[in-house]
C-alpha cells in the first residue's frame, strides 16, 4: 500500500481521503492506493505519526547536532557542526554542489539527497522521469523529505508517496517542467540563495547562537515583502520572488539557521487558530521556537502555548476515522 500525501490549505469541508485504484509507480508494481489529503496545515510532520500508526519503521535521525530529544524530536546524536567551508562562485557550481554546501549541516542525509535531486531536476542537470503523470524527484528512506527545505525549487506542491516498503516517493507536477527558460531561472534562484546564505553566515559569524536566531528571523521577516497565504514553501524560489507564506519563511529559516550552525526544525500547526508553520531551534542546551512571520524568537514551549501556538499532527489512517472526524470524504 502507498499513501500519497498532498499539502493544501484549509477550505470549508475539504476532501481528506480519496481512494483510487490502479495508481502506477514505474519503480514498483501496480497496487491500490490511498490518496490522503489533509485540509489545513502541512503534511510534513504528520507523516511521522502515520508511520508509527501503520507500523512502518522510519529512520529519521538528525546526526549533525547535539541535543536531547525535544517535542517531536528523535534523540539527536552529539557531533560537531562543520565550520570549515570556503565561499565559492555559485555560477561555476552545479545545482547539486550548491545544495551540498548550503545543506551540509542539516544532518538529514535523505533530506539533502532530495534537495539535490529537486535542484538538479529543475535546473536541467537531471533528466525528467515520468511517474504516473508526475515528474519523479526520487525515492528516499526516511521522513525528513517531508520538510519544505527538501524542495528548494519549484512553485507547485510536491506529492509524497509512502510506499509499502517504508520508502518515500517524491513527485512533482508537470506545471514545474524545466523548460530551458525555467532551467535558467531556477539556477539563478539557486545562485542567489547561495549568495544570501553566505552573506548571512558572514554577518553572523561573531554572534552568539541567540543573536543569530534573532538576526536571521528578522532578516527573513524584513526581506520577504509579501506574505501570501497558500503558497508552497520552496526556499530558493521564495527568496528570489520575496513572496512567501509561513511555509516559505520556515523553510528559509531552516536552511539559513542550519547553515549558520543552529540546529533547526520546521514545525507545523496553528497560531491564533489559523494554520501556520514556524521553527524549533536548539540554543544553549534547550529547544526554543522562532517565527519569522511574526518575528518572534526564542520563546519556550510554555510561552508558545500562551502565545497561542499549537503544534499539531492530524492524519487519518482509515476512511472511518476520517468520517468520524467531521471532514468530508469524496
172 membership: H or E segment, kind and range: strand 168-172
Helix ranges (DSSP H) in 55-179:
95-102, 109-122
The set of residues, in sequence order, having a beta carbon less than 8 Å from that of 147 and lying 6+ positions away, is: 44, 108, 111, 251, 254, 265, 266
Cell 533528466 found at: 127
Count of residues in the chain: 330
For residue range 97-139, what is the model confidence (pLDDT) as tens digits?
999 999 999 988 999 999 999 999 999 999 999 998 999 999 9
Letter string b/e over residues 79-103, b meaning 16 or more CB atoms within 10 A of that residue's CB: eebeeeeeeeebeebbbbbbbebbb
CA 294, CA 272: separation in Å to the nearest integer? 12
Instruction: Give the pLDDT confidence score for residue 83 in this predicted structure.
Output: 52
Model's pTM, two decimal places? Answer: 0.76
pLDDT tens digit string along 242-280? Answer: 999 999 999 999 999 999 999 999 988 899 999 899 999
Q: Is 90 exceeded by the pLDDT of residue 228?
A: no
CATH code linked to domain 205-311? 3.10.620.30
| Spans of all domains in the chain | 2-178, 205-311
The whole-angstrom separation of Cα 213 and Cα 238 is 20
**Per-residue confidence at 158, pLDDT binned at 50, 70, 90?**
confident
In contact, 279 and 264? CB cutoff 8 Å: yes
- In angstroms, rounded to a whole number, what is the distance separating the alpha carbons of residues 172 and 133? 9
DSSP lists the bridge partners of residue 270 as: 275, 310
User: How many CA atoms, within 13 angstroms, populate the side-chain half-sphere of residue 41?
Assistant: 26
Q: How many angstroms separate the CA atoms of 192 and 248, rounded?
A: 16
Q: Cβ of 58: how many Cβ atoms within 10 Å?
A: 18
CA pair distance 189, 299, nearest whole angstrom:
32
Q: Which three cell numbers stand for residue 277?
A: 508553520
Amino acid at each position: 500500500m502507498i499513501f500519497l500525501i498532498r499539502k493544501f490549505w484549509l477550505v470549508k469541508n475539504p476532501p481528506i481521503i480519496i481512494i483510487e485504484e490502479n495508481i502506477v509507480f514505474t519503480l514498483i508494481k501496480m497496487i491500490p492506493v490511498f490518496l490522503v489529503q489533509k485540509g489545513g496545515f502541512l503534511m510534513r510532520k504528520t507523516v511521522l505519526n502515520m508511520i508509527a500508526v501503520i507500523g512502518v519503521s522510519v529512520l529519521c535521525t538528525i546526526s549533525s547536532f547535539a541535543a536531547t530529544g525535544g517535542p517531536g524530536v528523535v534523540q539527536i546524536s552529539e557531533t560537531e557542526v562543520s565550520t570549515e567551508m570556503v565561499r565559492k562562485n555559485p555560477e561555476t557550481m552545479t545545482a547539486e554542489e550548491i545544495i551540498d554546501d548550503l545543506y551540509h549541516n542539516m544532518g538529514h542525509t535523505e533530506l539533502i539527497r532530495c534537495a539535490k535531486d529537486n535542484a538538479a531536476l529543475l535546473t536541467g542537470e537531471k533528466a525528467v522521469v515520468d511517474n504516473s503523470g508526475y515528474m519523479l524527484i526520487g525515492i528516499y528512506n526516511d521522513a525528513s523529505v517531508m520538510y519544505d527545505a527538501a524542495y528548494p525549487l519549484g512553485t507547485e506542491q510536491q506529492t509524497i508517496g509512502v510506499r509499502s516498503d517504508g520508502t518515500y516517493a517524491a513527485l512533482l507536477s508537470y506545471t514545474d517542467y524545466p523548460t530551458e527558460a525555467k532551467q535558467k531561472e531556477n539556477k539563478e534562484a539557486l545562485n542567489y540563495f547561495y549568495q544570501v546564505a553566505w552573506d548571512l553566515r558572514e554577518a553572523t559569524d561573531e554572534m552568539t547562537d541567540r543573536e543569530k536566531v534573532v538576526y536571521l528571523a528578522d532578516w527573513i521577516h524584513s526581506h520577504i515583502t509579501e506574505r501570501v497565504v497558500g503558497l508552497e514553501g520552496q526556499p530558493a524560489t521564495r527568496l528570489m520572488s520575496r513572496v512567501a507564506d509561513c511555509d516559505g519563511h520556515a523553510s528559509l529559516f531552516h536552511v539559513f539557521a542550519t547553515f549558520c550552525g543552529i540546529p533547526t526544525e520546521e514545525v507545523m500547526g496553528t497560531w491564533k487558530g489559523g494554520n501556520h508553520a514556524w521553527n524549533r531551534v536548539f540554543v544553549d542546551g534547550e529547544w526554543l521556537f522562532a517565527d519569522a512571520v511574526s518575528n518572534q524568537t526564542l520563546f519556550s514551549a510554555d510561552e508558545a502555548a500562551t502565545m497561542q501556538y499549537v503544534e499539531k499532527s492530524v492524519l487519518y489512517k482509515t476512511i472511518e476515522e476520517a468520517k468520524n472526524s467531521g471532514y468530508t470524504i469524496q
